[in-house]
Chain A
């Protein structure tokens, strides 16, 4: 490890704006019906550009970030999970799903008032739990469920037939939404939303790529609060515009050598959602001079990447950047289908080796010293293949640590054991606590 250097740090100027966008998002969703608007709920991986064609007053609430918000409030999270348990659902099911259902069963909205019933549910079917989540929610709320199957294999094997399968379902989902809402669909709005979706997710990938810099301008704990905007509504102009602003600011931080972690001397990535109620483990690692610069999860849950001309990993070029003009509904649906199918976090569903390759790319290009894998009992979809990733990384000579936990069910996370494992891992990396960092942390 390098000798101890203290890098300059500075808060993100656009941080408050991210919070505002998020707050407004939930407010808009809750109040949409009061203004005659439409509400839909579903997954953060749903093709969220598609319902945008129903009008400018269409508001979404994606289930995962909603449940993650609740996970911060351990008391309410527990109440929600208890309500779900009481309905007979298994306790080992997706903890986001159990929290969302619980909030729905209790008829309590985390941000105040009654649980806002959506007009329909919209989901992409890649994760077994995701599909059940909205199937149950739609049955309980007695509203339609549109489910788009995207299990067409890894992007590297995509062909016309596989793409058509997804596109045809998207066409059907529009017809279903028109019927469910009684609205006429506007293709121009869809086209605009698809452009925004591509712009925001490519920009997020660009922001993640800027984290290759030493010192890293962003740490993962901070990134959690930023990537979330794309999980809320990546097809909104507001989110795409925000990411442009953020990209410019992060670029400036890189140019000025502004660090996220002042004593950065060791760079790692993690994996899957963190235990949301215990993000302090990231601060604990900082005391050793460790910065987590991201993860396949933080980068690729929403960020859309592609191999660059020099072979490195970076943002995928948007249709606009490639000079592609989207002329009609079908073209828009083809673009959004193809774009989403290239999502990094969808690839490991088919083969863990694809994710291991991504991780190894990150190890090399983001200049990492190790990887910490969260064996997340709360999410089968993102933990699938984790043990094979571990073996693949070890085989490549990368130090790996694992810890067990649950992103949203604190009963399955042992804080003391985890910090103890982290400490041991730090020792294997030759790191000791930095007194100055520990003092700063205590302050």
Chain B
């Protein structure tokens, strides 16, 4: 049953096309993970996150200069190659400079019916962000209403909030199982599980999660968990990397990445003001380094995760040229190490040198095992 997540991951475009055919609904491409999806779901639309394919590509050179991160170029390449030709619209909630280029080149060269930019606060910690962001979420809702040709009622919003929250709750429950001595799911499987929630119909995804959750307590993997690892850093959905790590004696038991836990960790807390609840959820979520100002709130969260999941080491996965993460990593590395979590820093591209990475991961695991001896 859990294999379905992988199946969805591999065939995500076919899934979206079928969903569209089946429901007659609109599919909206989301850039980064700050788009308030509750609004889209409330309007019966399918939010589908734009991701790369981890294949070499040569179509983005005229659009994005090579000094920008491989992820933003890989993602644009998917559009330019026509793989997202089923999208009816695209939305970006303000995140990093790099990915904004993907969104802009997309809306210039791949016209869709609906393109919307949400100027979401970057200084998410300021006390003025909630009121401001609520107003922006309200504008976004109105734009979606206009596009959909029908109003989004309060009960629609409640439904949108609950559908998203249910999915988040279930993902967190699934992650709880990773705290066990012998986690019943690998890091690779957890990655498929988490990242697919970003483009599969949430209710369908949640239904599968519920079924999987029933199975997980009995599930025994024919492998030793080995060294418990944390994956932390930039966007990463490189399944081959997780597979490699878990073939050489480690298990990724927790992540702090936008393709994983950062996406679903917190819920919208319902209050009388639904739009405020939605807006606050995105401000309060575990921050991407782009939005972690003025203090580094993220570091404590990373450490808490490492402790809760008993990670013995952390792999800091740095997307090449990703300035926001590059601006955090030296201090984050120091912080983790000072708190007893050894780290291994790796620089990622769209395609990665698994051979050299394997040697480094093996050496990292050896150093951790070495410490266990004494």
* Contact present for B119 and A383 (CB under 8 Å): no
Name the contact of A90 in the complex, choosing from B105, B108, B123, B326 (C-beta under 8 A).
B326
Do A169 and B324 touch across chains, with their CB atoms under 8 A apart? no
Q: Is A147 an interface residue (CB 8 A)?
A: yes
Chain B: residues with Cβ within 8 Å of the partner, total of 47
- Please determine whether B67 and A149 come into contact, CB atoms closer than 8 angstroms: no
Q: How far is the CA of A89 from the CA of B329 in the complex (A)?
A: 8
Q: Does B331 touch A at the CB level, under 8 Å?
A: yes
Whether B132 lies near A391 (C-beta < 8 A) is no
Which of B126, B132, B294, B331 is the one whose CB lies under 8 Å from A162?
B132
Among A123-131, A182-190, A210-218, A325-333, the stretch that binds chain B is: A123-131
Q: Is B104 an interface residue (CB 8 A)?
A: yes
Given A89-B330, A380-B323, CB of A128 within 8 Å of CB of B290:
yes
The docked-state distance in angstroms from the alpha carbon of A388 to that of B109 is 10
Given contacts A383-B65, A383-B67, contact A128 B323 (CB under 8 A): yes
Nearest-CB distance from B134 to chain A (Å)?
9
Say whether A384 faces chain B, with CB atoms less than 8 Å apart: yes
B128-153 CB contact bits vs A (8 Å, 1 = yes)? 11011001100000000000000000
Among B67, B96, B121, the one with the most A-chain Cβ atoms within 10 Å of its Cβ is B67
Q: Indicate if A104 sits at the interface (CB-CB under 8 A).
A: no
Residues 59-89 of B contacting A (Cβ, < 8 Å):
61-65, 67-68
Are B330 and A145 neighbours in the complex by a CB distance under 8 Å?
no
**How many chain A residues touch the partner (CB < 8 A)?**
49
Partner of A380, one of B61, B97, B119, B120: B97
Task: Tell me the bound Cα distance from A422 to B68 in angstroms.
Answer: 25
Q: Determine if B17 is an interface residue (Cβ-Cβ < 8 Å).
A: no
Of B96, B104, B105, B320, which one neighbours A128 at CB under 8 angstroms?
Answer: B96
A131 to chain B: closest residue by CB:
B293
Shortest Cβ gap from A330 to chain B (Å): 14
State the CA gap A353–B294 with chains docked (Å). Answer: 31
**Is A165 a contact of B128 with CB atoms below 8 Å?**
yes
Give the docked Cα–Cα distance between A151 and B290 (Å). 12
Query: Once the chains bind, are A139 and B126 in contact (CB under 8 Å)?
Result: no
> Restricting to A274-318, which residues have a CB under 8 Å from any CB of B?
none
| Stretch of A226-234, A344-352, A425-433 lying at the B interface | A344-352
For B323, the chain A residues whose CB sits under 8 A away are: 92-94, 128-129, 132, 380
5 residue pairs of the A-B complex, CB under 8 angstroms, read A90-B318, A135-B294, A147-B293, A161-B131, A380-B98
Chain A contacts to B: CB under 8 angstroms = 87-90, 92-94, 125, 127-129, 131-133, 135-136, 139, 145-149, 151-153, 161-162, 164-165, 168-169, 172, 349-353, 375, 377, 380-381, 383-388, 390-391
What 20 additional pairs, Cβ within 8 angstroms, besides A139-B331, A172-B128?
A87-B330, A90-B329, A92-B321, A92-B323, A125-B122, A125-B123, A128-B324, A132-B327, A135-B296, A147-B294, A161-B131, A164-B132, A165-B129, A172-B127, A381-B97, A384-B68, A384-B100, A384-B101, A388-B63, A391-B62
- List residues of B whose CB falls within 8 A of some A CB: 61-65, 67-68, 94, 96-98, 100-101, 104-105, 108, 117, 119-123, 126-129, 131-132, 135-136, 289-290, 293-294, 296, 318, 320-321, 323-324, 326-331, 333
Among all A-B residue pairs, the 10 with the closest Cβ atoms = A132-B327, A149-B123, A88-B330, A165-B132, A153-B119, A90-B326, A161-B135, A168-B128, A147-B294, A377-B67
